Structure 1
Amino acid sequence: MPTVSIITITYNAERFLERTIQSVLAQQVSDFEYIIIDGASKDGTLDIIKRYESHITTWISEPDKGLYDAMNKGLHLAKGEYVWFMNAGDELHDPQTLSNLLTRINATQADVYYSDALFVEEDGSPVGLRSQITPHTLPHNLTWQDMALGMKVCHQAFVARKAIAPDYPTNNLSADLDWEIRCLKAAKKIEFLPFVLCKYLIGGLSVQQHRRSLIDRFKVLVTHFGFLPTVRNHIKILLRAKRFEKQ
């Protein structure tokens, strides 16, 4: 059984998929499996997958019910002790990233590992660390209660033990927030990593459908924190955003 399952979700991702695959292949260890779940792409995505097929443990291409349905497929196929989602366009930060992660896993056996994420443009140029260019400061002793004001950790910088990882709700654009909260609730040990896990390509699905993602985020937070606390916290979120814009 591999220690880590790296899972990539794709749909019409020919512009960005290769950079993701190459970042996985650049890793200097072999204790992982690589899974690609494609939603029956109509562009050149499958050509890219087939070009690297010998380096991919498992891949499927079939219609799905959206991003989080595809992520559930990847989760169900994963054989690793830990799962790590790295979607098309995102990258492992550097060739030592997985080796560094495995060193920590072997040493501490935590249920969740997390770090900062480097935001990058479409051409790969760096924008900055998420904790520095967004209002989301990154606590070094993360708990699920820290998510009351939104998603503290970028999804691609969050690695969870598969045994505690639930399915994603498939009808909510903030399903990754819900998933992280549920993982944190179930985790007995959570560890901050002092190195960056990923490069995150800005402009994903939730950005493209921003208004609905905000409504869905509200629903997720109500589920975990209650209605009135979530209303109060959203006032804090708005005030925080305004303060951050003035900096």
Structure 2
Amino acid sequence: MTTPTFSIITACFNSEKTIADAIASLKCQTWPGVEHVVIDGASRDATVTIARERLSAADVLVSEPDQGIFDALNKGLARATGDVIGFLNSDDLLADEQVLARVAASFESDAVGAVYGDLQYVSASDPDHVIRHWRSGDFQRPKLRRGWMPPHPTFFMRRELYWTLGGFDASFRIAGDYEALLRYLSHEALTIRYIPEVLVRMRLGGASNGSLKAIFNKSREDVRAMRKNGINPLLALPWKNLSKLPQFF
């Protein structure tokens, strides 16, 4: 696959303040053949109007009630047609216009099934203000048992692998991305490549990092995801949380 096409899935709800920036960060990519699949949960603000004005005829826009973000992402997976699938949260930004070109280069070998990179947490009001820098590091499967995980917004995988490995478990409200990555990365046949560069800027204040209550709920779901995938949470959860500390320095 020398020239992969991309489907980038965005799930949104009442995102009128940020959806235009998210779409713009995708529209400015230099890589051709990009489909934006926007799944809106029946927003009550101007999200759909703003999205419709900025999406092209080749993109997908669906607005209807859903059962949460992971149900919405599964709807996006069902509608995606690209060779490679990635995810862009409605309040996130691709780091620069060459992100998809760098990801595409990593998929030049047909043996590569998935690619990930680094992420920066930025201020919700000023995306140029970096608060945390998440350096993912090289992939080693044993690290999963110590709570290691790459940031899901930087994760790209071939579309056919989603049919083999499954989509998101919609019973999770916050940690469905973590559970899915545990399931995918544990698969021995999956060859994974790391790009040691920032691919995404994530605004602070999302469902998993917006409050202490959200962080507690996220940790509780992390434990369930670990147990579901044969990971010992007594070992993995403390390491998972402690590993975030260097991101602030």
Give the TM-score normalised by the residue count of structure 2. Answer: 0.86
Whichever residue aligns with residue 210 of structure 1, its letter is: I
Counterparts of 1:189 and 1:210, CA distance in 2: 31
What are the equivalent positions in structure 2 for 1:136-175 lying under 5 Å apart?
138-143=136-141, 145-150=142-147, 152-165=149-162, 166-172=166-172, 173-175=174-176
Whichever residue aligns with residue 235 of structure 2, its letter is: R
Whichever residue aligns with residue 130 of structure 1, its letter is: W
Counterparts of 2:23 and 2:42, CA distance in 1: 18
1:82–1:246: structure 2 CA closer, same or farther, 3 Å change rule? closer
Q: CA RMSD in A?
A: 2.5
1:32–1:245: structure 2 CA closer, same or farther, 3 Å change rule? closer
Q: CA deviation at 1:106?
A: 2.1
- Answering whether residue 36 of structure 2 is matched by residue 39 of structure 1, we say no
Counterparts of 2:120 and 2:65, CA distance in 1: 31
Q: CA deviation at 1:237?
A: 4.9
Residue 22 of structure 2 corresponds to which residue in structure 1?
20
1:130 to 111, 125, 134: 134
Equivalent pair of 1:142/1:190 in contact (CA under 8 Å): no
Cα deviation per residue 1:138-163 (whole Å; 9 max; x = unaligned)?
331332x4233435211111111122
User: When you count helix as a share of all residues, which structure comes out higher?
Assistant: 1
1:44–1:155: structure 2 CA closer, same or farther, 3 Å change rule? same
Residue 230 of structure 2 corresponds to which residue in structure 1?
225
What are the equivalent positions in structure 2 for 1:28-177 lying under 5 Å apart?
28-54=30-56, 57-107=59-109, 109-122=111-124, 123-125=126-128, 126-131=130-135, 138-143=136-141, 145-150=142-147, 152-165=149-162, 166-172=166-172, 173-177=174-178
1:193–1:55: structure 2 CA closer, same or farther, 3 Å change rule? farther
Residue 134 of structure 1 corresponds to which residue in structure 2?
none
Residue 135 of structure 1 corresponds to which residue in structure 2?
none
Helix, strand or coil: the match of 1:141?
coil
Q: Between Structure 1 and Structure 2, how many residues are aligned?
A: 237
Whichever residue aligns with residue 140 of structure 1, its letter is: D
Structure 2, unaligned runs of 5 or more = none
Residue 10 of structure 1 corresponds to which residue in structure 2?
12
Cα deviation per residue 1:82-121 (whole Å; 9 max; x = unaligned)?
1101010111110111112112212465111011112111
Counterparts of 2:144 and 2:87, CA distance in 1: 19
Counterparts of 2:24 and 2:248, CA distance in 1: 39
Residue 181 of structure 1 corresponds to which residue in structure 2?
182
Helix, strand or coil: the match of 1:9?
strand
Counterparts of 1:212 and 1:42, CA distance in 2: 26
Cα deviation per residue 1:24-72 (whole Å; 9 max; x = unaligned)?
0111121221110000000110111121132651110000001100000
Equivalent pair of 1:36/1:56 in contact (CA under 8 Å): no
Helix, strand or coil: the match of 2:52?
helix
Identity rate, percent: 26
Cα deviation per residue 1:131-182 (whole Å; 9 max; x = unaligned)?
3xxxxxx331332x42334352111111111222221111212110111112
What are the equivalent positions in structure 2 for 1:189-204 lying under 5 Å apart?
189-204=191-206
Counterparts of 1:16 and 1:243, CA distance in 2: 28
Cα deviation per residue 1:172-227 (whole Å; 9 max; x = unaligned)?
1211011111221335311011322111122211224222211110011112235x
- Answering whether residue 221 of structure 2 is matched by residue 216 of structure 1, we say yes
Whichever residue aligns with residue 142 of structure 1, its letter is: Q
